[in-house]
Every structure is written in C-alpha cells, then in structure tokens.
Amino acid sequence: MKNSLKKIALTAFLFGGFIFNANAQSARDFIGAPAIIPIVSEPAPKLIVDEPLPEELAKAKVIIQYRTENLRIVSVYGQEALKISPRIGHLHITVDNLPWHWADASNEPLIIVGMAPGKHSILFELADPTHKVLQSQLVTFEIPDVKTSHKH
C-alpha cells in the first residue's frame, strides 16, 4: 500500500509537471531573442523618464528613475558597437541647460543632491554608441525653499 501511494504521488507529480511545462512560455517568449543572434528589424528605442520623487525634492535631493525599451544601457562606445544586436546605448544628462553634459551608462536612478532652491530642468537624451541622440525627454521640477529653524 505504501509503495502504491508513492508511485501514484510520483506519477501525479511528473504528469502535473509535464502539463505545467508544456503550457509555459518559452525563455525566448519571455526575455526575447538571444543577444548573440542579430535582430533583423528592431523596433525603435524608447526612453521613459519618471518625475522626480516629490518627498525627496523637499530635502534638495533629486531622484529620477528611468527605463528604456528596445535598447540596453551599457558602457560600450564607438562605431563598431553599432553592429551589436539587440541595440545598445547610453544616456546624455544635461542639467539646467548648461553647455555641457555627462554620459551615463549605469542604468540606475539619476541622483543629484544639493541643488539650490528654485526651478530646474534635466534633459535625458538616449544616445547610440557613437553619441547620436535617438530620443530625449525634458524633466522640470522645483526645489522648495525650505528654511531650517535650528542654529549652528
């Protein structure tokens, strides 16, 4: 009797697992084509940038999350990198229309601390490995003028 129950349980487990796996999405369906196989026709890259976290602006901290679609953010640059598929790139970040920017390939939220009170803007530019801008998004916000009541 004990062996029969074990066989039934094992059969049910194996059969149930087979049914589950037969209906599951494939890895390719879930994460896309392998990075070693060139994609013949890639969809256009897309940049999605959130507004700064409001609770942090009151502390003069700017924290902005972003993500991309159809482009992986990596620190690989140059003409040869244009041949990589799926597409890769990085960001150019410009604060308050300054005449310079920096390249960001961290794929982490943008964090700037200690900005002066007032209105500010940050331009996010999605760029290919040769620094050609593919898409951009401007984020504007205001750092409140919060006076501290404690004395030093």
Mean pLDDT score of the chain? 84
pLDDT band at 41 (very low <50, low <70, confident <90, very high): confident
Name the residue among 54, 51, 45 with its Cα closest to residue 110: 51
DSSP letter assigned to residue 82: G
Q: Is it the case that residue 150 has pLDDT exceeding 50?
A: no
| Cβ partners under 8 Å of residue 116, min gap 6 | 60, 143
**Structure confidence at residue 54 (pLDDT):** 94
Task: Average the pLDDT over 50-57 and give the result.
Answer: 96
More confident residue, 115 or 8: 115
Q: Hey, what amino acid is at 94? A: T
pLDDT in tens, 92-135: 999 999 999 999 999 999 999 999 999 999 999 999 999 999 99
More confident residue, 151 or 113: 113
Return the beta strands (E) in the chain as ranges: 46-49, 61-64, 66-69, 72-73, 88-95, 102-104, 110-113, 118-127, 133-143
pTM score = 0.71
